[in-house]
Structure 1
Amino acid sequence: MLANEAMVLRQVLIQGVDMFGSRVGFLKFKADVIDKETGKKVPGIVFARGPAVAVLILLESEGETYAVLTEQVRVPVGKLILELPAGMLDDENGDIAGTAIREVEEETGLHLNQDAVVDLTAFLAPSTGQKVFPSPGGCDEDIGLFLYRGKVDKEIIEQLQGKETGLRDHGEMIKVHVVPYKTLWRMTADAKVLAAIALYEMAKRDGLLPILKD
């Protein structure tokens, strides 16, 4: 039985598996799901990749707020994309915040204080699962979106701009970009960025964010 008791799961046909070393990475399957009221099948083609995390990093310097993004080639869309530092949740203990901090360090070189990291998706109503689902019609991926705010010298901004990072042995070829936050919403079509902006602005409007210390 599915979480929604109006639906019944009859069978699952595994169509493809991509392994990440010794563990399952991506899974493609077709589920036969029946609507109990009508007796009809509902769409059940699934690309399963599991939970992920992403971090909106905002750095204030000399009166300007900047966002830290990563740029890398994304083969499915055939272009370079400016994105939030992000990664799949592969921690067996489910340490979401810890995974977010590790991804930031790997992709930007920045080490974040976990106490200063805010879970933006935790502000969503519990009924949502307190995660963002970027493509629920075909993929199970849920994303925890986090926020980090800090104050830095302009030298740090200059050092980050254009920095090349990533786990090269994993095929990651990443370049860091630092852009003014005021223009961020127009500079990328990455759904993680746009969702994080929306959550950040609404949380700020409603006074839910801690005060940024000097």
Structure 2
Amino acid sequence: MSSTIALPSIYNSISVKIPPHIPLTQTELVEFPAFKSWISRLTSSLRSDNNPDGYTLRHLEILSVVRFGSTRIGFLMLNAEVRDADDKVSLPGTVLLRGPSVGILALLHPEGTPKNNLYVILVLQPRLAGATTSMAEIPAGMLDDHGSFAGAAAKEIEEEVGITISEDKLINLSELAIQSSPLLDKDQTKESIGLANAPPISESPNQETQKQNLDGLFSSAGLLDEVITYHAFVHEIPEDELEQWKGRLTGLRDKGERITLKLVKFDELWKATRDSKALCAWALWKGLEEAARLPY
């Protein structure tokens, strides 16, 4: 028999249906970081003045839970019932929660060559969701327990590329891009406050809360909550070492990673991969470079 729980009052005490075959407690749900962030942003967005149709969240139903190990929640899929004030329109509600990620534009610059003579390090690895055993993409990974986006990016670079780099050497491309944009369109219509630094929902209504800095880009906002923050770095190498980077094997074998490195000229990246993360990072670099906002 299914169980029904109620979210805390700060989330309007919305009811949540949990089917009997899904072992999930109320505490696990509300403490799952991806759910906590998503429900906070959504609740804030629905309360804002940028909700002219009066959409409200009526009900949630958990569809599935994937755990990493025996206890930790990795992914959670749910269905959210959101309807307008006249109860005539229902929004598509299937959501897959996995939390934030980082993507890294790892660049090699042969010493003594022009500054724009850059090579992108791509990683070739199996991707079952893409039905391939060799997807060419930029290094990326979930935030997990790294504590910060920069820390997660540095860790992914070390694991997937084999370069140890300090966090202060990273260039936060998505943050630089969003800092230069007020998130307004040509008609001065605001994006949902849920995206543009929404104040998080607080258990203490009278307590001032800091805005959430959402400086990443959504990978597929029609289904995923995932926001990817893009970083870049330039690694200087002797020109005669360039060939040594091609075909190098990396990855954490104990985690099932088997990664081969591939080098691509930066200007040719847009046609050398089907990885949208790579194209986003490439476009951010090009845009910031053109706007003279790139610290390189």
TM-score by length of 1: 0.91
Summarize deviations over 1:72-107 as a string: whole Å, max 9, x none.
1111121221111110001263x1101100001100
Structure 2: give runs of 5+ residues left out of the alignment: 1-10, 12-42, 47-53, 183-195, 198-213
Counterpart code for 2:276: A
SS in 1 for 2:44: coil
Pick the aligned partner of 2:65 from 17, 30, 42. Answer: 17
Pick the aligned partner of 2:221 from 131, 136, 148. Answer: 136
Match of 1:72 in 2: 125
Q: How many residues align?
A: 210
CA RMSD of aligned residues (A): 1.8
Please identify, of 125-134 and 196-205, the stretch whose mean Cα deviation from structure 2 is larger. 125-134
SS in 1 for 2:288: helix
Structure 1: give runs of 5+ residues left out of the alignment: none
Pick the aligned partner of 2:83 from 27, 30, 34. Answer: 34
Instruction: Please state how far the C-alpha of 1:156 moved relative to its aligned partner.
Output: 3.8
> CA 1:147 to 1:92, structure 2 compared with 1: closer, same or farther past 3 Å?
closer
Match of 2:261 in 1: 176
In the alignment, the residues of structure 2 paired with residue 156 and residue 37 of structure 1 have an alpha-carbon distance, to the nearest angstrom, of: 66
Match of 2:44 in 1: 3
> CA 1:38 to 1:13, structure 2 compared with 1: closer, same or farther past 3 Å?
closer
CA contact (8 A) 2:127 2:135 kept: yes
> CA 1:162 to 1:40, structure 2 compared with 1: closer, same or farther past 3 Å?
same
In the alignment, the residues of structure 1 paired with residue 97 and residue 149 of structure 2 have an alpha-carbon distance, to the nearest angstrom, of: 18
Match of 1:160 in 2: 245
Summarize deviations over 1:99-145 as a string: whole Å, max 9, x none.
10000110011112322211011021462832111100011111000
Name the one with the larger strand percent: 1
SS in 2 for 1:185: helix
Match of 2:19 in 1: none
Pairing 1:100–2:141 present: no
Mapping of residues 36-55 of structure 1, within 5 Å? 36=85, 39-55=88-104
Instruction: Please state how far the C-alpha of 1:179 moved relative to its aligned partner.
Output: 1.4
In the alignment, the residues of structure 1 paired with residue 241 and residue 163 of structure 2 have an alpha-carbon distance, to the nearest angstrom, of: 10
Counterpart code for 2:174: T
TM-score by length of 2: 0.67
In percent, how many aligned pairs have the same letter? 36
Match of 1:89 in 2: 143
CA contact (8 A) 2:60 2:78 kept: yes
Instruction: Please state how far the C-alpha of 1:155 moved relative to its aligned partner.
Output: 4.2
In the alignment, the residues of structure 2 paired with residue 171 and residue 178 of structure 1 have an alpha-carbon distance, to the nearest angstrom, of: 23
Summarize deviations over 1:46-79 as a string: whole Å, max 9, x none.
1111100011011111533100110111111212
Counterpart code for 2:121: V
Please identify, of 43-52 and 54-63, the stretch whose mean Cα deviation from structure 2 is larger. 54-63
CA contact (8 A) 1:66 1:180 kept: yes
Counterpart code for 2:128: V
Pick the aligned partner of 2:271 from 186, 189, 212. Answer: 186
In the alignment, the residues of structure 2 paired with residue 139 and residue 145 of structure 1 have an alpha-carbon distance, to the nearest angstrom, of: 17
In the alignment, the residues of structure 2 paired with residue 92 and residue 40 of structure 1 have an alpha-carbon distance, to the nearest angstrom, of: 41
